[in-house]
Chains A and B, each alone.
Chain A
Amino acid sequence: MVTSSHSRPGTSSPAGSTPPGHEPHGSLKTTDRPARPVPVLSSRRRAGNWIRKRGLGPYLLLLPATAVIAALILWPAVQVGLFSFQNYGLMQISGVLPAQWIGFANYSQILHDPEFWSSLKISLYFAVAVVPLTLIVGTLVGLLLERLGPRMRTFVSISAILAWATPAVSASVIFAWLVDPDGGVVDWALEKVPSWLGGGPSWAGFSWTNAPLPAYTVLTVMLVWTGFPFVAVTVLAGLRTLSPELHEAARVDGAGPWRDFWKVTFPLLRPIFLVLALLSTIWDFGMFTQAYIVTGELGNRDEYNLGLYEYSQAFTQPPHYGLASAAAFVLTIILLIVTVGYVRAAIKQGAFA
């Protein structure tokens, strides 16, 4: 990989990345297989042999994918790093002034920006709330699915998969409607709930999206709703790989379902839980679309999470691409740290053994 991405670092042009798509057509025919010497040598075959002898086949096959990924993902990632040390803004993007290297000025400006810290706090609290909730709800549903009859199980899992498959934009718009102060069903229902349960008439016309806490409460429910089916279905698949004798043995030894879960099921499925936790963390910490729509399109600065904060630096006037890049870099680093943490945990548990 390193070699091939090295070979085209300058071609940031996405347009430049399409033509290579044609090359492997030819190469595929000829280079595909090592194996046996073939007696008849057409010119095509001779070229094939040449490539084969040097072991170039796989590299040619990888060329288009590498070019596309390098030009449209790796290079932009490098560029974000570069921009984060430049004063790239309106003047620079329109070519009036050249970009200047300004060292860590962008980072220091961000780290002194209270909005950055409040957005980071929101992202962290949100992930800390949503990830465990999603995992708990999903696991409980997975355990439930395992105990249901086949028909009921199919029905419940298909319903759940539909929630998971609902596009983020639709989910956001639907939840915005559910919690709308005028006509939304949530306020109506809360109004009917007796006051000793926290309901009551004060909920009439309650606006959920005008302050961070209620807005992120809505987002929490929404992301648990979106996320639990994946956990449930994955856990169910994991549960079905465990042999029933294990549970049998635990029961004979006097373990109830609680101990059975923690002593038998959980340790055996730990790799699955680690992966699920990692994926949920990445999705929830990096949430953008849902927050963008529910908190009102960058309109409420006190409701920014890290993703919105970063995006707003670049795409509200005047644009600060340098600052946005620094924020993006911070966001990426946090996610990488989280990932490395999970991977280390997984290795320690022997998940990859």
Chain B
Amino acid sequence: MTSVPISGRAASGHPGRRVRRFNRASRKAVLNLLGLLVALFALFPVLWMISTAFKPANEIFSLTPQPLPLHPTLANFQAVFSGSVIGMSYWNFLKNSLFVTLVAVALSSLIGLLAAIALGRFKFRFRTTYLVVLLIVQLLPQQALVVSLFIDFRKYNLLDSLVGLILVYTAFALPVTIWMLRNFAATVPKDLEEAAAIDGAGAWTRFWRILLPLISPGLVSTSVFAFIFAYNEFVFALTFLGTDTAKFTLPLYVQYFYGQNSTNWGAIMASSTLFTIPVLAFFLFTQRRLASGLVAGAVKG
């Protein structure tokens, strides 16, 4: 794959212009072809999921699978919405997921913002230690902590409870949120604030008028990050919501759906499509922001 670029460059040394032009064109064609192959590899599973979701049963189990449904049907989606397969509608689980996710995002943004201001705008003892501990905390594998959290949650009646999940998602989104926001907070020039202070702006005004507007792009990135983390999270949901189907979040619902009807691929893919497409749309919508936030958070750190 890497050898492809040679053709263009090696040729540019001596031979005639026509050869060079031909080489450049063929090089471009080869590169574009490779690009298409990569895109196909990346998109195929998702496209296959969507396509299967629209296929009637006889096409799903056909001996020669077709890339697109010959007779598209909405029956699979109807089964998912009506809840005819596991007795509860998709809407119920979407509601759970959105509730948990949105509250966790709001909490972690707020708490993370306060901490980020402390770490980005103040000098104090333990600041570096704090940042290092945050890094280490991120490395602790979730499935290692889940046992201990399960026992605590059992003690405090937080099992089978969406509140318990909100707490965990808030906590686990915090380290990254703080790290990323800290970099944004640190880049706001001190002069701006000092100038405002001279003009008589109090701490509160300076926060609202100067710090917050300048940090808000970072806040968008970290919210997107926290949203995706909480919306997709599986291990904690699996462990803490174990027995109460009505409380399931979407990832747990999709997995449960798959576990219960492992041959009803049309409906499984429909449920998975309804779970996945919002994330992908969200990503497409915010990816530029997200990328810049990640870069700002990672590289400048």
Interface flag for A100 (CB, 8 Å): no
B115's partner among A38, A62, A144 (CB-CB below 8 A) is: A62
Q: How far is the CA of A72 from the CA of B107 in the complex (A)?
A: 14
A36-B198, A61-B115, A160-B42 known; A12 and B152 CB under 8 Å?
yes
A35's partner among B145, B147, B197, B263 (CB-CB below 8 A) is: B197
B residues 45-62 in Cβ contact with A at 8 Å: 45-46, 48-49, 52, 60-62
Interface flag for A336 (CB, 8 Å): yes
Contact with A along B196-218 (1 / 0, CB 8 A): 01100011101100000000000
Q: How far is the CA of A205 from the CA of B115 in the complex (A)?
A: 55
Interchain CB contact under 8 A, B144 and A18: no
Interchain CB contact under 8 A, A15 and B283: no
Interchain CB contact under 8 A, B283 and A93: no
Residues of B within 8 A of A116 (CB): none
- Please count the residue pairs between chain A and chain B whose beta carbons lie under 8 angstroms apart in the complex: 320
Query: Least Cβ distance of B272 to chain A in Å?
Result: 5
Interface flag for B19 (CB, 8 Å): no
Residues of B within 8 A of A12 (CB): 152
Residues of B within 8 A of A172 (CB): 255
Interchain CB contact under 8 A, B118 and A62: yes
Interchain CB contact under 8 A, A72 and B168: yes
Interchain CB contact under 8 A, A167 and B275: yes
* Main DSSP-derived SS at the A contact region: helix
- Segment of A125-133, A193-201, A325-333 in the binding face: A325-333
Residues of B within 8 A of A66 (CB): 115
A-B contact pairs, 17 of them (CB 8 A): A2-B133, A15-B158, A33-B193, A61-B114, A62-B114, A69-B175, A76-B148, A144-B31, A155-B39, A163-B42, A170-B276, A188-B64, A225-B42, A261-B2, A310-B143, A328-B141, A328-B147
Which residues of B are interface residues toward A (Cβ below 8 A)? 1-3, 5-6, 9-10, 28, 31-32, 34-36, 38-39, 41-43, 45-46, 48-49, 52, 60-65, 107, 110-112, 114-115, 117-119, 122, 124, 126-127, 129-130, 132-134, 137, 139-154, 156, 158, 164, 167-168, 170-172, 174-175, 178, 193-194, 197-198, 202-204, 206-207, 228, 231-232, 234-235, 238-239, 251-252, 254-255, 258-259, 263, 265, 268-269, 272, 275-276, 279-280, 283-284, 287, 291, 295, 298
Q: Which 10 A-B pairs have the closest CB atoms?
A: A72-B171, A328-B144, A32-B203, A61-B118, A65-B115, A76-B148, A58-B118, A58-B122, A159-B39, A1-B130
